[in-house]
A and B are shown apart, each in its own frame.
Chain A
Amino acid sequence: DAGVIQSPRHEVTEMGQEVTLRCKPISGHDYLFWYRQTMMRGLELLIYFNNNVPIDDSGMPEDRFSAKMPNASFSTLKIQPSEPRDSAVYFCASKQALGGNEKLFFGSGTQLSVL
């Protein structure tokens, strides 16, 4: 299995531009999570999906952030408009809850820099 795949690996954009981060979870996993990691706040949960349905988006910073999961193999996190304070590493993770398995598998992350 290729693991959780995120793209792009790095993204540099200017303030005000739209940014779209992409994630392909591990096949067969029914949960998908988006985390953000910064020096200031550590690893924060933004939103998670179960069977493509958003379950908890209480961690989404504000209306500029949105996430979708149109099917079991793809999710996007969009920031519009982007701001310098959005600069961070964004991780996608997935898990299969069957059998009570709670272990999350993380992607390599997207390093976002907003200038």
Chain B
Amino acid sequence: GESVGLHLPTLSVQEGDNSIINCAYSNSASDYFIWYKQESGKGPQFIIDIRSNMDKRQGQRVTVLLNKTVKHLSLQIAATQPGDSAVYFCAENGGTDKLIFGTGTRLQVFP
């Protein structure tokens, strides 16, 4: 029979455009949030993180926005490149030592 798996939302963007990947988190106790990038056959790789006392943090070509009121996190990638194609995960700590990951979003970059 047909296997049923997680349906990963997919974001398709043209090279050079900006990408916005969204994430809803669930635990009000979370005070730390992080984005990872996972390429095929590799482990998750750190992109950027943010603490709950901030609402925005910028890195190189990436920005994370945190809206605690609606429990929403977003990752913005400027001038998206083919090398940005991957699955992106957000994670929260639930106020604990561990990270709980979301289901992920697949980013596809077209030339």
Contacts and interface: CB of A to CB of B under 8 A. Distances in A.
Contacts, number: 57
Dominant secondary structure at the A interface = strand
B98 A107 contact: no
Dominant secondary structure at the B interface = loop
B100 interface: yes
B97 A55 contact: yes
Contact of A102 (B4, B34, B36, B43): B34
Interface string A76-115: 0000000000000001010001000011111111000000
Contacts of B43: 4, 91, 93, 106-109
A50 B97 contact: yes
B103 interface: yes
Interface residues of A, number: 26
Contacts of A43: 44, 89, 101, 104
A50 to B, nearest CB: 7
A103 B46 CA distance: 8
Contacts of B104: 42-43
B65 interface: no
B6 interface: yes
Interface of A: 4, 31, 33, 35, 38-43, 45, 48, 50, 55-56, 91, 93, 97, 102-109
Nearest to A109: B43
Given A102-B32, A102-B93, A103-B34, A42 B101 contact: yes
Given A40-B3, A104-B99, 12 more contacts: A38-B5, A39-B5, A39-B6, A42-B101, A45-B98, A48-B98, A102-B32, A102-B34, A102-B93, A103-B46, A106-B43, A108-B43
Contacts of A31: 97
Contact of A45 (B3, B89, B100): B100
A36 B94 CA distance: 19
Interface in B20-40: 32, 34, 36
B67 interface: no
A31 B93 CA distance: 14
